[in-house]
Structure 1
Amino acid sequence: MTIALGTPTVDGVREAMAALREWQDDGAPMQLHPGDIGWHHRFGAAGTAQVIRTWSRDGRIVAVGMLDAPRLLRMTVAPDAFEDEDVARRLVEDLSLPERGVLPEGAVSVEAPLGLLLHDLLSEEEWGVDAPWTPLFRDLTEPVQDSGLRIEPIGRDQAQDFADVLRSAFDTSRPTSEYRHAMSAAPFSADARCLGAYDDQGDVAAVVTVWSAGPGRPGLVEPMGVHANHRGRGYGRAITLAGAAALREMGSSSARVCTPSANAGAVATYRAAGFGVRKEVRDRVRVG
């Protein structure tokens, strides 16, 4: 059967999100999560629809991708299609041919879960690998301990605090107060919890946003950040624990996150919050 590549409408994003929710499983490798698309809604519904790609066979979505940047596609495949040769070969074609509208010419990257036949075929096409990332997982069967610090929801009124912490944490000027406002207005905002950890002076020291994929499925931490002025004081661990607790309250079976392996501080923070390390993953890269 023919496999069709598509870019959904704003309403069609819901179908892609539904497929991603269905594919989340505690036993699955780190993969694109509906929360990744939810977080992208900080750029608005139309802007999010423009970066989504779907591959469908006989009317059923078998793969979903999101252009996290013009030259970076993050994607995953339906569990029963991980080793499907037809799907893998179609993906390789679409990723390799700029006229298909997925990736441009030149250097590009693809993030895909371990275990896909796609990786073998990309290797045959001489795609390389990039720097390693560390996936981390925490089981949420048991209650999550309270850090003892003040944790509060970050709503629209605290939008600037949210942006300021992320700017400092990631040393970037991109986050703005509009991020939080856009997330609040997004159709998937009910899947998210945005929390802040406060210091003794009442300032927000760290923030986290967590995303549910539905009861009994793994949730996602995206993003978590600590203001540079508050590093090394336990706020990262505290806000991560709070995020995990929020996911458990929403019915998530586990929490997952992925961070560059070179960011030893982030890996240590998640481990301190009870996350276990899984096998490193690497993006696939085509140079030039």
Structure 2
Amino acid sequence: MPTARRDFAGPDDLRAMQAMASRQWSPTSRFHPGQLAWSRYYRPVDPDLLDEGESIAVWADEGQVVGFGWAEAPDWLELQVAPDRPDVAEELVEWFEEISDADTQSALVMEHDVAEPALAAAGFVAQPDVPWFTHHTLALADLTSVGPVDGYRFRHVEPHEARERAAVHAAAWSDFGPSKVDEGAYRQLMTAWPYRHDLDWVAVDDQGRMVASVIVWLDEATGVGLVEPVGCVPEHRGRGLAGAVTVAALLHLRAVGGSHAQVSPRGDDDYPGPQRLYRSLGFRPTARTVTWTRSLE
């Protein structure tokens, strides 16, 4: 059966994309299944429909996904292709050319990704100095606990706490503008694989209010938990809460069978704080992303 392309048709396709990400996972691969869940459901969305201007296509061989392209907007492409399928990479880049009418187009891939030759052949040029991300990993056997933070305790989220959980995320990320995460979106996120409420952790103050948070997405097939996202509300920063709540969640990840953790902070010098935090917890860099761009003007 030849490789077949299909347009995204809902949750079953997302699950197939996540299955591919799980099969292909390594410290240098582009996606963890949890990243795909977060990217799909962090804002209110119809599970069966894409946003205006958004496109997703999936390539399958004998029923198994071997590549997918996710054009979050006409000028921005995210993708993953099986390392042994450069032919799919070529088709994927051609597909993006067909669906995009942007004068400037960009694609984000891992450095040395199988798609890089296809991007270069289509006129894209690597931009190694624009903002980029670095995958970091940590063997959970090496994780050490952190001491208590006076005035706070750490616990996992309960299924009925979607409103409060969405609110602490939105407050933590308010520096970047109004968050799209609301109660409805978070309820939907809580139903998405591989979300687990026992791996969704918060720091609460002495009045029981959530003030910092982290989700860890465990892929049981690989034993790897992705840390995404982490945040602390502005008025409680500077007390070590982001790191402490992350460690609390990772200790639980280890207790339920996880072997490694991954996180992907910015790697460039313009936003160094998160990378410093994760390295202080024992995470070490493995591979980085590169943005490829072309102009049609």
Match of 1:38 in 2: 37
User: Which of 200, 209, 228 lines up with 2:206 in the alignment?
Assistant: 200
TM-score, length basis structure 1: 0.83
**Equivalent of 1:63, from 49, 61, 67?**
67
- Bigger drift between 37-46 and 234-243 goes to 37-46
Alignment of 1:180-199 (within 5 A): 180-186=186-192, 188-190=194-196, 193-199=199-205
Code of the residue aligned with 2:295 in structure 1: it is V
Farther off after superposition, 13-22 or 186-195: 186-195
- Taking structure 1 as reference, are residues 231 and 152 closer, same or farther at Cα in structure 2, changes over 3 Å only? same
Task: For residue 265 of structure 2, give the secondary structure of its aligned residue in structure 1.
Answer: strand
Is residue 162 of structure 2 the alignment partner of residue 159 of structure 1? yes
Bigger proportion of residues as helix:
1
List gaps (5 residues or longer) in structure 1: none
Deviations 1:200-251 (A, max 9, x none): 3432221111111214432211111111111111011112212322332343
Contact 2:157 2:198 in 1 (8 A): no
| Superposition TM-score, scaled by structure 2 size | 0.81
- The answer to whether residue 79 in structure 2 is matched with residue 75 in structure 1 is yes
Aligned CA distance change for structure 1 residues 47 and 243 (closer, same or farther; 3 Å): farther
Alpha-carbon RMSD: 2.8
Q: Which segment drifts farther, 247-256 or 258-267?
A: 247-256
Tell me by how many angstroms 1:118 deviates. 1.4
Count of matched residue positions in the alignment of Structure 1 and Structure 2: 279
Query: Residues 36 and 158 (structure 1 numbering): CA distance in 2 closer, same or farther, change over 3 Å?
Result: same
**Deviation of the 1:264 alpha carbon:** 1.3
Give, in angstroms, the shift of residue 90 of structure 1: 1.6
1:1-288 equivalent positions in 2, closer than 5 A: 2-9=2-9, 10-25=11-26, 28-39=27-38, 40-42=40-42, 43-47=45-49, 52-69=56-73, 71-79=75-83, 81=84, 84-98=85-99, 103-128=100-125, 129=127, 130-142=130-142, 144-149=144-149, 150-171=153-174, 172-173=177-178, 174-186=180-192, 188-190=194-196, 193-260=199-266, 261=268, 262-288=270-296
Could you say if the C-alpha distance between residues 108 and 115 of structure 1 is closer, same or farther in structure 2, counting changes exceeding 3 Å? same
Deviation of 1:44 after TM superposition, in Å, equals 4.7
Native 8 Å contact 1:194 1:209 kept in 2:
yes
Q: Give the Cα separation in 2 of the matches to 1:192 and 1:140.
A: 17
Provide the C-alpha distance between the structure 2 equivalents of 1:92 and 1:202, rounded to a whole number of angstroms.
50
Aligned-partner SS, 1:189: coil
Q: 1:72-105: per-residue Cα shift (whole Å, max 9, x none)?
A: 33221224x2xx432232222122222xxxx443
Is residue 156–residue 198 contact of structure 2 (8 Å, CA) maintained in 1? no
Q: Tell whether the 8 Å contact from 1:65 to 1:74 is kept in structure 2 after alignment.
A: yes
Hey, what's the Cα distance between the residues in 1 that align with 2:155 and 2:260?
Answer: 22
Question: What CA distance in whole angstroms lies between the structure 1 residues aligned with 2:57 and 2:251?
Answer: 32
Consecutive unaligned residues in structure 2, runs of 5 or more: none
* Contact persistence 2:194–2:218 (CA under 8 A): no
CA distance in 2, matches of 1:67, 1:193: 29
**Counterpart amino acid of residue 227 in structure 2:** V
